Amino acid sequence: MRPPAAPTIPSLSDDVTVFREDAEDAVRIVSGMLRRGEGGEAFRERRRAISWSATEAGLQSPSIVEESGTAVRVSRGKDSLLVACDGDGAEPLRDAVREASRRAGGAPFFKSKAAGPRADDRGPSGPDEEGRATQIQAALARALPDPRGFSLTLAIARVTVSRAVVTARAFVPCGEATRLEATGVLRRPGSSRSFAFQSSAPFSAACDALAKALADATRPVPAHRAPEGKVDVVLSPEAASVFWHETVGHPLEAEGGERASVLARVPRAAVAPPGYFVTCDPTRRDLPGSYLADDEGTPARAVPLLDDGRVAGLLTDRRTAGGDSNGHGRCGDFRRPPRPRLSALIVSAGRASRDELLDACDAGLYVREISAGHTDAESGRFALFVESADLVRRGRLGAAVAPFLLTSDVLTALGGLWGEAGDVCAPASGLGLCVKRGEPLPVGGASPAILLRGLTAAPGRP
C-alpha cells in the first residue's frame, strides 16, 4: 500500500524563461546584498489572467490583467525583512535591494540600467485566445442547456503564474503553472449557492471538467434532509481528499511551534489504522499546487505525513526548519512572506471496492462532494461542508440528501477510519484554492474512498 506512481499529464512547466534574461546579474546582486550572518533571497512572480464575466446567457465582458513583482527577503537571527515592489526585471530588483539595505543600515549603490525588452508580450487577440473563449462558451452551453428559472454570475479566468527565486548562489525556477478558475454564485428561486472551480488540466479537459462541475452544481437541491447526530460516512475519492487536507495536511504545517497542533504534539504516534500512507507531494505535476522549487528556492520533495497510520513528519519552510526545510514554504503572492503550506496530499489506495465500503458502512451516508472545510489545528476540531451525498441503507445507496455539515475532531476521526481504504485513488474535486490567513494558494489531492465511523452530521444550510 505505497502511494501510487504519478501519472504523466503535464500541467506545470519547468521552462520558466521569463525571468532568465538577467539571471546571472540577479544572482550577483542578491549575493552582494547579504552580509555575514544573514540569509535571504529574491523572489520574482508574474501573473497573467485573461478572464470573462459570465451569466446564464453566456460570456459578457472580457478583461486582461498582468501583474509582476519582485520581493527581496533578508533574515538575520530571529528577525526578517521583506521589501516588495512592482515589476520583475533588473531595475525593480535593484530598487528592492536598495530599500532592504537602507533599512538594514547599508547603502549599496547600483547604476540604473535601462530595462530590456520583455519576453512573453503576447496580446489577448491571438487565435488561441479566441479559440479558448469559444471553448468556455461551449462549456457553459453544455452545462446549462436550458437556463430558464436560473441565474448565474461567474468570473472565469485562465491564469498563468510564473515564479522564480534568486539566491546568493543560483537562479531557481519554481515553475510556470496555468489553471482555469471559475468563481461566482448560482441562483434558483428560493436558493442560491456559491460556486468555485479550478483545474490545472490541459485547457480542453479543464473546460470539460468545468462543464461537468457547473452541471452538477445546478441540479436542484434535494429536499430530503440528512440524518443528524453520529453517523458513519463513506467519502468518495473526490471528497476524501478534502478530509485529508483538513485533518492531516493543515495540522502538520509546522507553523506556530512544534506543539501547536493536535498532530504535531504526537510525533510517531499511531493515529490511524495501519495501512494508511499520506504524503504531501508537490512534484505531482498533474495536480494543482505543484511546483519545482518552493517559494524560497528549496527543491520540491514529497514528505510523508502519515506512515502506516503513524504521524511521520511536518511540512516546513526555512523559517521553521532553517537549512533543513523540506520545500513547503509558499506565499500567496510576492508581497507576502512564505509560510509552511501544503500542496497536494496523496493517499495510498487500499483493496476495498466501493460496494465493500458501503457494505461495511451498512447504514449512513455516501458523500460525493465536499465544497469547503476548516480546521482549528490547536484543538483539532474540524468541519466539512457536504454539498452532495446519498443515504446508505443496508449497504446500498439510497436517496440524495440536502447539503449538511460533518464535524468531529482530528484524532477521533482518524481513529474511526475503517482498516481498509478503497481500491481506486482519484484526484480531488472539492479542492482548488486553500485560503489560510487570507492568502489563497492552489492545492490538490488524490485519495481512495474511505469509511469513517462516528462523525457528527448537522444541518448544513441555515
Partner 1 sequence: MTPPDDGLFEELLAASASSHDGEGGEVYERRGTSLELAEDERGFHASVSTERGFAVRLFRAGRTSFAASGAGGARRLPAEARLLLARSRARRGVRELPAPEGALPPAPPGAPQRPDEIAARGLLVAFRRALASASDGAVLLAEAALTLGARTERIATTAGRDVSFGSAAATLVANVSARTGAGRASARVVAAAARPEELALARLAHHAVDRVLLPLKGRPLETGRYDLLLDPLVAAPVLARLARAFFGEDEDGLLGARTREGRDALASPALTLVDAAGAPGGLVRTTHDGEGTPQGRTIVLERGRLASRLTDAAAAHRLGTRPTGNAFRRAFSEPPAIGVTNFFADPSSGVPPLDLLRALARGFYAAVLLSRPQVEIAADRFRLHAAGYWVEKGRATDAVSETLVSGRLSSLLRGIEAVGDDLKFVTAAGGGAGSPTLFVPKWKG
- Binding partner 1 by CB under 8 A: which of 6, 85, 397, 424? 85
- Binding partner 1 by CB under 8 A: which of 4, 32, 124, 299? 124
Q: Contact, 166 vs 25, CB < 8 A?
A: no
Q: Which is closer to partner 1, CB of 103 or CB of 224?
A: 103
- Binding partner 1 by CB under 8 A: which of 64, 119, 170, 363? 64
Q: Which is closer to partner 1, CB of 108 or CB of 274?
A: 108
What residues pair up with 87 in beta bridges, in sequence order? none
Q: Which residues in 398-457 contact partner 1 (CB under 8 A)?
A: 437
Residue 81 binds to partner 1 (criterion: CB under 8 A)? yes
Residue 228 binds to partner 1 (criterion: CB under 8 A)? no
Residue 362 binds to partner 1 (criterion: CB under 8 A)? no
Residue 84 binds to partner 1 (criterion: CB under 8 A)? yes
The grid coordinates of residue 382 equal 474540524
* Listed residue (181, 161, 154, 182) closest to 60, CA to CA: 154
- Binding partner 1 by CB under 8 A: which of 108, 116, 131, 256? 256
- Binding partner 1 by CB under 8 A: which of 1, 168, 260, 270? 260
Q: Which is closer to partner 1, CB of 121 or CB of 146?
A: 121
Q: Contact, 415 vs 247, CB < 8 A?
A: no
Q: Contact, 288 vs 432, CB < 8 A?
A: yes
Residue 301 binds to partner 1 (criterion: CB under 8 A)? no
Contact window for partner 1 (CB under 8 A) among 188-196, 294-302, 358-366, 441-449: 188-196
The grid coordinates of residue 397 equal 445507496
Residue 383 binds to partner 1 (criterion: CB under 8 A)? yes
Residue 106 binds to partner 1 (criterion: CB under 8 A)? no
Residue 141 binds to partner 1 (criterion: CB under 8 A)? no
Q: Which is closer to partner 1, CB of 6 or CB of 372?
A: 372
Burial of 449 (0-12, 13-18, 19+ CB in 10 A): buried
Q: Contact, 308 vs 414, CB < 8 A?
A: no
Q: What angle do CA 171, 15, 33 make, to 5 degrees?
A: 15
DSSP for 292-343? SB-TTSPBP--EEEEETTEE---B--HHHHGGG--S-EE-SSTTS--EE---
What is the three-class DSSP state of 197? strand
| Nearest distance, CB of residue 58 and partner 1, angstroms | 7
Residue 462 binds to partner 1 (criterion: CB under 8 A)? yes
Strand runs (DSSP E) across 170-283, as ranges?
Answer: 171-188, 191-199, 229-235, 278-280
* Listed residue (63, 42, 54) closest to 163, CA to CA: 42
| Nearest distance, CB of residue 184 and partner 1, angstroms | 12
The residue written with cell numbers 530595462 in the block is: 115
| Nearest distance, CB of residue 83 and partner 1, angstroms | 5
Contact window for partner 1 (CB under 8 A) among 91-99, 172-180, 279-287, 363-371: 91-99
- Binding partner 1 by CB under 8 A: which of 15, 28, 31, 63? 63
Q: Which is closer to partner 1, CB of 181 or CB of 232?
A: 181
Angular region, 111: left φ>0, alpha ψ -120 to 50, beta rest:
beta
| Nearest distance, CB of residue 447 and partner 1, angstroms | 25
- Binding partner 1 by CB under 8 A: which of 113, 379, 394, 399? 379
| Nearest distance, CB of residue 461 and partner 1, angstroms | 6
Residue 99 binds to partner 1 (criterion: CB under 8 A)? yes
Residue 322 binds to partner 1 (criterion: CB under 8 A)? no
Q: Contact, 386 vs 366, CB < 8 A?
A: no
- Binding partner 1 by CB under 8 A: which of 37, 61, 114, 145? 61
Burial of 244 (0-12, 13-18, 19+ CB in 10 A): buried
Residue 224 binds to partner 1 (criterion: CB under 8 A)? no
What residues pair up with 49 in beta bridges, in sequence order? 65, 159
Rounded to the nearest 5°, which phi and psi values hold at 246? -80, -40
- Binding partner 1 by CB under 8 A: which of 13, 20, 183, 187? 187
Q: Contact, 405 vs 389, CB < 8 A?
A: no
The residue ranges that bind partner 1 (CB under 8 A) are 57-69, 77-87, 89, 95-96, 98-99, 103, 115, 118, 121, 123-125, 130, 133, 151, 187-192, 256-257, 260, 319-320, 335-337, 374, 376-379, 383, 437, 461-462
